[in-house]
Amino acid sequence: MAEYRAGFVSFVGRPNVGKSTLTNALVGEKVAITSSKPQTTRRAIRGIVHRDHGQLILVDTPGLHRPRTLLGERLNSLVQSTLGDVDVIAFCVPANEPIGPGDRFINEQLDQYPRAKKVAVVTKTDATSKSKIAEQLLAVSELREWAAIVPVSAPEGDQLEVLVDELLTLLPESSQPLYPAETTTDEDTSERIAEFIREAALEGVTDELPHSIAVVVDDMVEREDKDLLEIYANLYVERDSQKGIIIGKGGARLREVGATARAQIEGLLGRKVYLALHIKVAKDWQRDPKQLGRLGF
């Protein structure tokens, strides 16, 4: 019988390559928010994958990029410290974009973590042709000696189990699981709620605005007269002009964001919630150490 294995696997790569989407697909639940805008993930988010013969603790990370703000620098350091602690580093490259300087830079950084085994994951195989996938697999194989190279499509569910099996074989043997069977993440409920709100707010905004949004759950209160949880959250932007965009004409956009987020939160908690969302300006918070600290970075 195969030995039980358990350990830590970190997904790393440029922004927007599909690390969080893949994390969620493997875990089978939305533990990390995703969006079409780069630099969505801002924490190292653990997602647990349970199998009879082992347990993968996935650590989704913020996309590595050339930082333009203090937040960007902090996120890059967060990725670096995460990579120092994991058993396997899974470097994610999309099938539908040629390998560029950003990918090469990250690949070179991986040399700094000799203890970790290194796997390449070619994501988004549904978004390109078979011949392009073959070309990408070849290009990736030339970057370094990988323990495995696995092409996957998260939305199609293609090759996900192959990836899980490959990753499990690279983990250390363990006498027992590291997390209980029902655990999918160790993120706090209030953190997940804040992230659902941020994800809803990212929908349909462009340019610099996605980067300027931060959400903090301020308070959660049980209603005494009925089975309802009241959630009070603050959505921060960096400038007054951004406030108007988030709120929209007559408050239409904000209502939409609230409704989308509430549906996600109710799905997570399995109960009705009332969501009060307040928009506040935290001027240039991405560049301000004090405000970054207050927002949890």
Ligand X SMILES: Nc1nc2c(ncn2[C@@H]2O[C@H](COP(=O)(O)OP(=O)(O)OP(=O)(O)O)[C@@H](O)[C@H]2O)c(=O)[nH]1
Of the pair 41, 291, the CB lying nearest ligand X is at 41
User: What x-and-dash track marks residues 110-129 binding ligand X by CB under 6 A?
Assistant: -------------xx-xx--
Residues 6+ apart with CB under 8 A from 129: none
CB count within 10 Å of CB 34 equals 20
- Cα(231)–Cα(222) distance, integer angstroms: 9
Is 63 a binder of ligand X (CB under 6 A)? yes
Which one of 149-157, 233-241, 270-278, 284-292 is the stretch in contact with ligand X (CB under 6 A)? 149-157
Nearest to 82 by CA among 184, 186, 10: 10
**Residue from 5, 8, 13, 20 in contact with Mg ion (CB under 5 A):** 20
C-alpha span between 196 and 152 (Å, rounded): 25
Tell me if 123 sits within 8 A of 154, measured CB to CB: yes
Q: Strand pairing of 5-12 and 88-94?
A: parallel
20 annotated as belonging to a binding site for a ligand: yes
Query: Is the CB of residue 10 less than 8 Å from the CB of residue 82?
Result: yes
Q: Does 64 count as an annotated binding residue?
A: yes
* 154 touches ligand X (CB under 6 A): yes
Q: Indicate which of ligand X, Mg ion, none lies near residue 154 (CB less than 5 to 8 Å, by partner kind).
A: ligand X
Taking the C-alpha atoms of residue 156 and residue 158, their distance in angstroms, rounded to an integer, is 5
Yes or no: say if 107 and 144 are a contact pair by the CB < 8 Å rule: yes
CA 219/CA 62 separation, integer angstroms? 27
Residue span binding ligand X (CB under 6 A) among the ranges 10-18, 178-186, 212-220, 286-294: 10-18
| Piece of the chain touching Mg ion by CB under 5 A; list 20-28, 42-50, 106-114, 226-234 | 20-28
Q: Is 180 annotated as a binding residue?
A: no
* CB contact at 8 A, 118 and 89: yes
CA distance 210 to 38: 9
Burial of 30 from C-beta contacts in 10 A (0-12 / 13-18 / 19+): buried
> 125 a known binding residue?
yes
Smallest separation, CB 117 to Mg ion (Å) = 22
Under the criterion CB under 6 A, does residue 20 sit at the interface with ligand X?
yes
Token representation of residue 14 = 């440029």
Q: Is 125 in the site for Mg ion (CB under 5 A)?
A: no
Q: How many residues bind Mg ion (CB under 5 A)?
A: 4
Binds ligand X by CB under 6 A, chosen from 36, 131, 175, 176: 36
Q: Is 21 in the site for ligand X (CB under 6 A)?
A: yes
Question: Is residue 16 part of an annotated ligand binding site?
Answer: yes
Query: Under the criterion CB under 5 A, does residue 21 sit at the interface with Mg ion?
Result: no
Other C-beta atoms closer than 10 Å to the C-beta of 106 total 21
Query: Which residue's Cβ lies closest to ligand X?
Result: 63
Interface with Mg ion (CB under 5 A), residue from 35, 41, 125, 286? 41
Q: Does 55 bind Mg ion (CB under 5 A)?
A: no
Instruction: Compute how many residues bind ligand X; rule: CB under 6 A.
Output: 23
- State the residues that interact with ligand X by CB under 6 A: 15-21, 34-36, 38-41, 62-63, 123-124, 126-127, 153-155
- State the residues that interact with Mg ion by CB under 5 A: 19-20, 40-41
